[in-house]
Amino acid sequence: MNIEELNVKIEKKKADIEKRKSITLKFEKKFEILTDEFERKWTPEDIRTSNNKLRDLEIQLENLYKQKEKVKTKNEIERIPVIEEFLEQWKIKAIEWYTQNYNSLLEYIKERSNKQKQFEQWKQEKGIFHYNSKEAKEKEVELGIDYKTHTMRMKMRFNVLTLKLYDNRNNWKQILEKEIELDKNNKRALFVNRVKEITGLINDAKGLSIGDNGEINGIVIGELGKAKVETISAGGYNIQCWHFRVLVHKFK
């Protein structure tokens, strides 16, 4: 969950608290003017219940603030120029790949729709009106639009995020940018924290460099010693975007 989403939850929770305070206050004012003994007996219980709910809401709000601080701390991971350049190159490749995969999905859906129309026309010409007829099922398989083939193609050709983009196709570019930027922040935190497990506070990362293959490797110097960084990259084809794995070893 990012800062923006947490801010929305925090504002909603604050509104819930104010609403609950208002409810509690109404119970308290009601109790002050009650004359009926039965109602006077049970209204304090209503007040206690409402106050308990209020405390629960306040605890939930406090937890949201703590969660927000954790996210802020995570986002405040030190920016090391060569790592930033490496992650930006990854982001560019990722957006390009998902855009291509998304466009391929649109082409596939259009192609399947055309074949579906062809199938319906064929049924009319054949006078077939029962969907479950053997001949109709065989024709679907021939055209490649049967459920099994369709499911397999969707699974083999298109990434989960690509399918999410299609479900939100009115603003898919904004969603893609948001998802990749979030992933970039997570990768930065993972990358830097793995290095710091060995080096402690990073003093010098000038020994890192990006190779022609886009991988980042080299030596990082910190207050606790040196770390050797290696990355192994793969993907960029089929349904897998170009990705990398970071290996960090103590350098003697």
- pLDDT tens over the chain, length 252 residues: 678 888 999 999 999 999 999 998 888 887 777 677 767 677 788 888 988 999 999 999 999 999 888 777 666 677 889 999 999 999 999 999 999 999 999 999 999 999 999 999 998 888 887 767 888 889 989 999 998 999 999 988 998 999 999 999 999 999 999 999 989 988 888 889 889 899 988 889 999 998 877 888 999 999 999 999 998 877 666 656 777 788 999 987
Q: Which of 17, 42, 75 is the last residue of a domain?
A: 75
User: Structural domain of residue 56, as residue ranges?
Assistant: 3-75
Burial category of 246 from C-beta neighbours within 10 Å (exposed 0-12, middle 13-18, buried 19 and up)? middle
State whether 110 and 168 are in the same domain. yes
Same structural domain, 183 and 151:
yes
| Same domain as 129, residue 36 | no
Same domain? For 89 and 205 the reply is: yes
Q: Which residue has the tokens 């947490």?
A: 6
Listed residues 50, 75, 100: the one ending a domain? 75
Q: Are residues 89 and 9 in the same domain?
A: no
Report the DSSP pairing between strands 225-234 and 243-251: antiparallel
Q: Check whether residue 124 and residue 222 sit in a common domain.
A: yes
- The reported pLDDT for the residue numbered 245 is 85
pLDDT of res. 238:
63
138 with 242, same domain?
yes
Q: Are residues 92 and 214 in the same domain?
A: yes
State residue 72's pLDDT score: 73
Q: Cα separation of 107 and 101, whole Å?
A: 10
Q: What pLDDT is attached to residue 131?
A: 67
Query: Which residue, of 75, 93, 124, is where some domain finishes?
Result: 75
Three-state SS for 226? strand
Residues 88, 8, single domain; the answer is no
Domains in the chain: how many in total? 2
* Per-residue pLDDT, 215: 84
Do 137 and 205 lie in one domain? The reply is yes
Say how far apart CA 5 and CA 10 lie, in whole Å. 9
Q: What's the pLDDT score for residue 227?
A: 93
Residues 168 and 117 in one domain: yes
